[in-house]
Structure 1
Amino acid sequence: MVKIRLSRKGIKKKPFYQIIVTDSRNSRDGRFIEKLGYFDPFNFKKNEKKKNIKFNKDRINFWISKGAILSKRLCSLIK
């Protein structure tokens, strides 16, 4: 089964996440099919409460049409 989920990068206590398409049997930071964007929870301006997230919506819709499933965390971030 193909899933769209977050892959953790960065250093200790300062995570950075990549939005990836992967097989559900692969590990969180293992092999992936395609990178679709990123989410940086620590890179935001003091006045704004908006998190820094960037993704390719067309590619996400493409993979969903092919049967990929969004993770719960990613689903809440995108909406």
Structure 2
Amino acid sequence: MAVRIRLTRMGRKKKPFYRIVVASNEAKRDGKFLDIVGTYDPMQDPAVVNIDAEKLQDWLGKGAKPTVTVQSLLKKVGAGQTETA
């Protein structure tokens, strides 16, 4: 089972809010997840990204791979030592 760090959509129509979650790559986008690592709110100016660095490092250490979108958010925030394969 491959584990990914990815976004799951919350909020309402035309007002998106995302959770940054750790989930199996086979799970649906808004389906079952293992842990919540942070949040992303693109509706605020500037967009707000909150990340629990300790949880993030723990999951990266266990082999979880961030998606391209999450990787770019992590670079903006400066959290996590993410490696591209």
TM-score by length of 2: 0.83
1:43 CA displacement: 2.2
Percent of aligned pairs with the same residue?
38
Aligned amino acid, residue 38 of structure 1: T
Figure out how many residues of one structure are paired with residues of the other and give that number.
74
In structure 1, the gaps of 5 or more residues are: 45-49
Question: Aligned pair 1:32/2:13, yes or no?
Answer: no
Give CA-to-partner distance per residue, 1:14-73, whole Å, 9 cap, x none. Answer: 1100010011100000000001110000123xxxxx311101111111111101000100
Unaligned runs of 5+ in 2: 76-85
Larger radius of gyration: 1
Quote the residue 1:10 is aligned against: 11
Coordinate RMSD, CA, aligned: 0.8
TM-score, length basis structure 1: 0.88
Say whether residues 1:75 and 2:76 are aligned partners: no
Match for residue 52 of structure 1? Answer: 48
In the alignment, what sits opposite 2:57?
Answer: 61
